[in-house]
Amino acid sequence: AGGFGWTNYHTLDEINDWLKDLAFNYDDKVQLLVGGTTSQGRDILGVKIHIPSNEPKKAVFIEANIHAREWVTSATATYILNELLVSQDWEVRQLVELYDWYIFPVTNPDGFVHSHNSNRMWRKTRTRYSTLCFGADPNRNWPYQWMQGGASNQPCSDTYAGPNALSEACTDSLSQFIDSIGDDLIAYISFHSYSQMLLLPYGHTTSHLSNYKEMYDIGVQAVRELEAKYGTRYVVGNIAETIYVATGGSMDWVKHKFGTPIAYTYELRDTGTNGFLLPANQIIPTADETLISIKSIFRQYRERHSDP
Ligand code: 0X9
Ligand code: ZN
């Protein structure tokens, strides 16, 4: 552990080795997990952070890099994971005590490797669908409202929803893992880039869920605190209203299936100057401001609810 630095982007092997090191060096609280597998036979590695306690805890799930080219998302996930283990900040320490944390930095490892080795702008999985076209969009492939808008039935499209829901090995296997812990989840947080948005379910409709106002208000205050440190401006809102209609997203499936109270999709930095090619010297400020917002979200949620 340590030595990761967050001054440059890392390959899948480097990230996975780092996760393995964490599980070794913090064997009292970090457990290495295989959240699923891919069509090319890779594992989706993640960790569970669990501080031993007598009472069962609610869990927080952080999913990143389901889109291959969005490298700052896995960097942010590993940064936050590291902070949960080493930070002296009382509020971060409280968060790690209060909840179990499931963190999966690279949920589309085949696509991520392809983005590193062959095509930096690759987004999808790498399942072969025709002679020329590979991959389905793993954030259009989940069963809730699958192919009900903002998704394509064309294998060559970047938003190809797949031939059926959960056609992709990575989404199918990860959904089974999430199924096994779904009822424990208090929060599902999905990191994407870019656009600087904090998005609320759902992607198929502009109508609002029953806890929308609460989660919107919490989000607005969270981005206010995020903005205070580096001046990064965020927009908060429902997916369909704020970015575009998009169906078959992971968060939507989790929210609908388990009623997870806290469900946010982040679109991290920037707003397009660099886009997916965010310079590595922005990893630390991006991750730092994101953690500030996450602290704010849980602080506000706990203020509003008696149960942690
Ligand atoms: O289109 C997407 O999947 C996301 N934007 S991105 O530029 N990173 O591709 C938006 C996520 C929409 N999320 C859900 N419908 N849950
Ligand atoms: Zn994305």
pLDDT tens digits, residue range 226-263?
999 999 999 999 999 999 999 999 999 999 999 999 99
**Ligand 1 centre from 7 Cα, in Å?**
26
Residue 1 has pLDDT above 70, yes or no: no
93-113 per-position pLDDT tens digit: 999 999 999 999 999 999 999
185-207 per-position pLDDT tens digit: 999 999 999 999 999 999 999 99
What is the reported pTM? 0.98
ipTM for the complex shown: 0.94
pLDDT at 306: 82
CB 194 within 8 A of CB 64: no
Radius of gyration of the chain (CA): 18
Indicate the average pLDDT of the chain.
97
**Ligand 2 centre from 175 Cα, in Å?**
18
- E strand map for 118-275: 185-193, 197-200, 235-238, 262-268
What average pLDDT does the segment 65-90 reach?
A: 98
CB 173 within 8 A of CB 153: no
pLDDT at 308: 54
Ligand 1 shell residues, CB under 6 Å: 67, 70, 139, 192, 203, 239, 243, 246, 249, 251-252, 265, 267
Token output for 77: 């996930």
Whether 97 is catalytic:
no
Q: What band does 215 get if pLDDT is binned at 50, 70 and 90?
A: very high
Residue holding tokens 């919490």? 218
39-60 per-position pLDDT tens digit: 999 999 999 999 999 999 999 9
